[in-house]
Amino acid sequence: MLTLRSVTAGYGGATVLRDVDLTVADGEVVALLGANGAGKTTLLRLATGLLKPQGGRIEFAGRDLTNSPPQTFARQGICLLPEGRGIFPSLTVRENLVVQARGRNLDASITAAAELYPVLGTRLRQAAGSLSGGEQQMLALARAYITQPALVLIDEASLGLAPLAVDAIYAALGRLVERGVSLLVVEQYAQKALAIADTVYVLNQGRITHTGAADGISAEEIYGKYLGIGA
């Protein structure tokens, strides 16, 4: 499905990613782990066309998208859920769902959001910014249910959330997996990502330093062996 081949990228004169190879297969869940500043968000920007590589190739479903605009990535079925919720806090929950629906049937979109997280269906007139952090993240995640993408890229979905909210987020991601959606998950909680993933990549200082089955390595090994930090 998604393939990055020998990709190098950065900003201005600074190189962030160096010769990166990464693949997300159809129906696969991939965890991308690494310390802050390793280049994880940069990789997601590449995979959505928000950043063009300095070298290498980006393919999706066998099509070369290396120099394509973000709109082409979106039309191919790639959905990015960025760090920081990715909602409009001044708009109501309903208005956010209108934006997410992008011309699709609004009633069906509201139903999909309520199926994902029932409380959203009861807060349609409430300003999105007044929701709890977990509720805001669920509202952001609803876009992946409404637009029915082939691949969802998730950047730190649990950042700043309480443990119960994190559990709810991962339960929702599990429902996406049951639908056959592929996921590329960037996550601070390695054990959470490993529990849902098929494959794990570790990114360290802009290079992939480990690739393997998610059930073949522990969070402690990743922190200690590949990142050189305590769990």
pLDDT digits (tens, 9 = 90+) for 51-62: 999 999 999 999
Q: Is the predicted pLDDT of residue 88 greater than 90, yes or no?
A: yes
Q: Which domains does the chain have, with CATH numbers?
A: 1-77+149-231 (3.40.50.300), 85-148 (no CATH)
Lowest-confidence region among 84-88, 91-95, 126-130, 177-181? 84-88
Query: In the prediction, which pLDDT does 212 show?
Result: 96
Q: Is the predicted pLDDT of residue 184 greater than 90, yes or no?
A: yes
Query: In the prediction, which pLDDT does 94 show?
Result: 94
How far is the C-alpha of 216 from the C-alpha of 101, rounded, in Å? Answer: 39
Query: In the prediction, which pLDDT does 140 show?
Result: 93
What are the φ and ψ backbone dihedral angles of 86, each rounded to 5 degrees? 75, 35
- Sequence-distant (6+) residues with CB within 8 A of 43 are 4, 7, 9, 17, 20, 22, 32, 203
Please report the sign of the dihedral spanned by the C-alpha atoms of residue 170, residue 173, residue 178, residue 184.
negative
Question: Can you tell me the mean pLDDT for 81-93?
Answer: 89
Query: In the prediction, which pLDDT does 139 show?
Result: 94
pLDDT digits (tens, 9 = 90+) for 127-182: 999 999 999 999 999 999 888 899 999 999 888 899 999 999 999 999 999 999 99
Contact 204, 38 (CB under 8 A): yes
Per-residue confidence at 188, pLDDT binned at 50, 70, 90? confident
Question: Can you tell me the mean pLDDT for 70-88?
Answer: 91
Query: In the prediction, which pLDDT does 229 show?
Result: 65
